[in-house]
Structure 1
Amino acid sequence: MSQIDTILTLIAQKHLGIDTLQTRHADSLDFHDTAVWCIRDALEAAFKAGVELGASSPKATEAEIAKD
Structure 2
Amino acid sequence: MTTRTKPASDALLLEIARKHFPNIETLETRNSDGLDFHDVAVWAIRAALEAAYTAGFAAATKR
TM bracket (short chain) = 0.7 to 0.9
Return 5+ residue gaps in structure 1 as ranges: 58-68
Which of 29, 32, 38 matches 2:38?
Answer: 32
Partner residue in 2 for 1:4? 9
Aligned Cα root-mean-square deviation (Å) = 1.2
* TM-score (norm: length of structure 2): 0.83
Q: What is the count of residue pairs matched by the alignment?
A: 57
Structure number having the greater helix percentage: 1
Structure 1 vs Structure 2: percent identity of aligned residues? 51
Secondary structure of 2:26's aligned partner: coil
Larger Rg: 1
State how far apart, in whole Å, the 2-side matches of 1:19 and 1:53 are.
25
Aligned to 1:6, what secondary structure does the other structure show? helix
Residue 48 of structure 2 aligns to a residue whose secondary structure is helix
Aligned residue type for 1:44: E
* TM-score (ref. length: structure 1): 0.78
**Structure 2 unaligned residues grouped into runs of 5+:** 1-5
